[in-house]
Structure 1
Amino acid sequence: MRKKRTTAPTAMTDIAFLLLLFFLILAISTHILPIPLNPATSDSSIATEETKHILMVGLDGSLFYEGNPILLSNLPHAEEFSLLADKETPFKILQPVIQALKEKGVTTLHCVVEQSR
């Protein structure tokens, strides 16, 4: 004789689906930078629209576009870029990047900072 089930057989699939959904949302919301950065902070409460074409500059001058390593010569053409760099990055490393973006026809360069808490 078989025992009668007390729960519906679809309960396990529902739980598996909810766990999968939870981990997908967690993975999407967790954004890890490819290099360790300590961005500058600002007391300003003015936030601009969503940043596009994010270019990260490391302390050693390494460049990352949208999270992937890239060379200045391989950057796509765009009129706007957002620049994210460590607050300790010397200007002598940032200046060639800014100059190359200017030569590529970039008209607007946003400097991304974190809001002070």
Structure 2
Amino acid sequence: MRKKRPTPPSALTDIAFLLLLFFLIMAITSFQTPVPLDPAQAQAQEIDLSTIPTLYIAKTGELYQEGKPTTIESIEADTSYALLADKATEFSAIHPIIEALKSKGVETLHLLVEEQE
């Protein structure tokens, strides 16, 4: 009868490393908002948003920037912003934010939507 050769311990570390690498790549590539949002769907124009600051509006009207809750008064003046709101958010919660951005000198406001399939 043959003796079983033991599994080399390096094989287990290789598998663990590959799993860790897989989960890190998935975490980096998945787009996550600070609050769960269900954006409106429409045909959209694709633009590069990597340099444009993005504001998120939750269903309740709470405002977030870079994953942290913020107020409209604490937002820095910039010429361009992107705005992503849940489709269930009341316009009465969105309108004051748009007006405040306009008064701060924002020239371009990108309204983000999910692309229709």
Same fold (TM over 0.5): yes
Deviation string, structure 1 residues 2-52 (Cα, Å, up to 9, x no partner): x895655533332222111111112223333332322111134x3122353
Distance 1:88 1:14 in 2: 46
Secondary structure, counterpart of 2:21 in structure 1: helix
Secondary structure at 2:110's aligned position in 1?
A: strand
SS of equivalent to 2:95: helix
Where does residue 106 of structure 1 map in the other structure?
106
SS of aligned partner of 2:77: coil
Cα distance between partner residues in 2 of 1:4 and 1:92: 72
Residue number in structure 2 paired with 1:60: 60
Letter in 2 for 1:105: G
| CA positional deviation for 1:53 | 1.1
**Which has the larger displacement, 83-92 or 65-74?**
83-92
| Residues 49-87 of structure 1, C-alpha deviations (whole Å, 9 max, x = no match) | 235311011232210112211111111332211011122
Note the 1:45-56 alignment, pairs <5 A: 46-50=45-49, 52-56=52-56
* Structure 2: 5+ residue stretches without partners: none
- Structure 1's 16 and 74: CA in aligned 2 closer, same or farther, altered over 3 A? same
Aligned mates of 1:4, 1:41 — CA distance in 2: 59
Percent of aligned pairs sharing the same letter? 46
Gaps of 5+ in 1: none
| Separation of aligned partners in 1, 2:99 and 2:10 | 60
**2:32 match: secondary structure:** coil
